[in-house]
Amino acid sequence: MTYPRYTKLAESLPATVPFVGPEAAERAMGKPFDARIGANENVFGPSPKAITAMQEALGGIWQYGDSENHALRHALAKHLSITPDNIMVGEGIDGLLGYLARLLIEEGDAVVTSDGAYPTFNYHVAGFGGVLHKLPYKDDCEDLPALIAKAHEVNAKMIYFANPDNPMATWCKGADIVAALDDLPEGCLLVLDEAYVEFAPEGTAADVDINDPRVIRMRTFSKAYGMAGARVGYALGAPELIMAFNKIRNHFGMNRASQAGALAALADQEYLSQTLVHVAQARLKITQIAEDNGLTTLPSATNFVAVDCGRDGAFAKAVLDGLVARGVFVRMPFVAPQNRCIRISCGTEDDLAAFANALPAALIEASK
Ligand SMILES: Cc1ncc(COP(=O)(O)O)c(C=O)c1O
């Protein structure tokens, strides 16, 4: 007998990670990156008040965090004019997507997403035996009407839709999402990932009735609030669905310092506004650098920009490899034709100067 006796499902899964982290790449290269602008982290960092709150929490780190995330849920509820019963806090959106898949997906259940959309969702669905149906982007945007039509066809339990989208940074109007809800098939949950919504133009956040059982929205402190390493995300939805997470979640998964940091970050909306200005400036700078090199960019509602390298995926990959070899960590979409682009996260002036320095040589090398 072989030990241990894995589930059939676990045995069938490939050993895979949704993303290879920059640290792993640094270890492989034997040196650190000069610019870390590939993972859509927020280089401008958290509010100083959040840093102080996390530092102050460290003395109490021998204590488990509050398993109910009471203070943060109440503060979010006040901020969003909803009730704490509409909010589940978890270990980033990534953690919450895993819980959601665990709640809804049995082997063989159908799930619909876009081909090339955020892969961690797919990873979780596959981990519970779900069957993913992937549809192409339309004009570099996720195509909600097509996703809904597919959900009817395959009797999907979930549709995943990110607004704004990663990796293209495109977006649609929140009102269009709300209008599409009536077209959802019976029993199909729309998972609306709003990881980047704070960066997006007014009207992008879908003004969904918070008690509507057909939608769950996911948000995070990783992006606009600059706290990716703290791992704090939250889901917004109808109380019954939110309560269901309590059946399967890791109740003590949040750490105290992160809870305190997120609370302080939320309270410092002035710092958030400054971050949004820095990010908007960095987006313009990335566009300028791309144009200086004869490239174009896609409009962005996020803290990253998709730079169109103007040719196919192999060319964009060669450009990316050239940037990585020159110490600039960036990523790119996985699927054609979106993989004609490379994806550049908003960096500091130094980060973007490193990008500007490395790009011309990377382009020449890729053209050879
Ligand atoms: C669309 C999308 N959703 C979720 C996440 C992850 O969020 P979190 O850090 O809260 O797990 C990312 C991070 O890149 C993302 O791009």
The residue nearest atom 16 of ligand 1, judged by CA position, is 166
pLDDT confidence band for 16 (50 / 70 / 90): confident
The residue nearest atom 3 of ligand 1, judged by CA position, is 195
Give the pLDDT confidence score for residue 330 in this predicted structure. 97
302 lines ligand 1 (CB under 6 A): no
Give the pLDDT confidence score for residue 20 in this predicted structure. 84
In whole angstroms, give the CA distance from residue 232 to residue 250.
Answer: 13
86 lines ligand 1 (CB under 6 A): no
Give the pLDDT confidence score for residue 147 in this predicted structure. 98
CA 368 to ligand 1 centroid distance, Å: 35
In whole angstroms, give the CA distance from residue 33 to residue 31.
Answer: 7
Mutate to test the pocket of ligand 1, among 91, 122, 222, 236 (most ligand atoms within 8 A of CB): 222
Res 66 pLDDT > 90: yes
Task: Provide the CATH number for the domain formed by 8-45+270-367 in this structure.
Answer: 3.90.1150.10
242 lines ligand 1 (CB under 6 A): no
Give the pLDDT confidence score for residue 119 in this predicted structure. 95
pLDDT confidence band for 360 (50 / 70 / 90): very high
Res 18 pLDDT > 80: no
In whole angstroms, give the CA distance from residue 261 to residue 196.
Answer: 19
CA 195 to ligand 1 centroid distance, Å: 6
Give the pLDDT confidence score for residue 19 in this predicted structure. 79
In the chain, what are the domain boundaries?
8-45+270-367, 63-268
Peptide bond before residue 32 is cis, with ω within 30 degrees of 0: no
Is residue 245 within 8 Å of residue 88, measured between CB atoms?
A: yes
In whole angstroms, give the CA distance from residue 17 to residue 49.
Answer: 34
Measured in degrees and rounded to the nearest 5, phi and psi for residue 95 equal -65, -45
pLDDT confidence band for 1 (50 / 70 / 90): low
94 lines ligand 1 (CB under 6 A): yes
63-268 CATH choice from 1.10.3720.10, 3.40.50.300, 1.10.287.1120, 3.40.640.10: 3.40.640.10
Query: 19-28, 29-38, 74-83, 292-301 — which is least confidently predicted?
Result: 19-28
233 lines ligand 1 (CB under 6 A): yes
pLDDT tens for each residue of 37-56: 999 999 999 999 999 999 99
The mean per-residue pLDDT over the stretch 268-288 comes to 98
The residue nearest atom 7 of ligand 1, judged by CA position, is 93
Ligand 1 atom closest to Cα of residue 233: 10
pLDDT tens for each residue of 97-122: 999 999 999 999 999 999 999 999 99
| Confidence (pTM) | 0.97
128 lines ligand 1 (CB under 6 A): no
Return the number of other C-beta atoms located less than 10 Å from residue 106's C-beta.
9
Token couple for 171 = 């977006």
193 lines ligand 1 (CB under 6 A): yes
